[in-house]
Amino acid sequence: MWHRIFAAADAEPAPAAILERLNTLVAAAGHFHGDDAGWFRAEFVVAGSTLVLERFLAAEQGIRAELNSWAAHLEAGDDPERVRLMERVIQSRQLFTLERPDDAPPTLDKVCISLCRFLAEAIDGFYQIDDRGFFSADGALLLRDA
């Protein structure tokens, strides 16, 4: 299952803070990969499964097309919330993706949602979960996926 976090801020969430958050929920080990622009990939071993978190800057090649695709997805319909979310997607400075393996235990769903909420709050963003919808940093449903 895929989770996406759309960020208005440029700030890079600190790896130590992310691991600390995960470890308040469940024992987790993590490894971050980075370059001059900061970290861009993290793998977390949680309950025998590996969660992969990737960070993309809006200026990276190909990411703007991905953001535009999400904006077009939101453009379909005249719901005011769709328009507001579409504008926020277009203005995103970063995009994070979190993949929960299909064979992961159901308990990891709560861990993934908590991580999405933590990141969305830290980077002035909101998140989306496949087949569920778009959510604010506090977990409130903003728009259900059709």
Q: Return d(Cα 45, Cα 65) in angstroms, integer.
A: 31
| pLDDT (tens digit per residue) in 108-142 | 999 999 999 999 999 999 999 999 999 999 999 99
Determine which helix (DSSP H) or strand (DSSP E) holds 133, and give its type and residue range: strand 133-136
| pLDDT (tens digit per residue) in 29-58 | 999 999 888 899 999 998 889 999 999 999
pLDDT at 76 over 70: yes
CB 126 within 8 A of CB 133: no
pLDDT at 28 over 80: yes
| pLDDT (tens digit per residue) in 92-102 | 999 999 999 88
Strands (E) across 21-132 are located at: 28-35, 38-46, 49-57, 94-99, 125-129
Asked whether the whole model's pTM tops 0.75, one would answer: yes
Let me know the angle formed at the C-alpha of 54 by 51 and 58, rounded to the nearest 5 degrees. Answer: 160
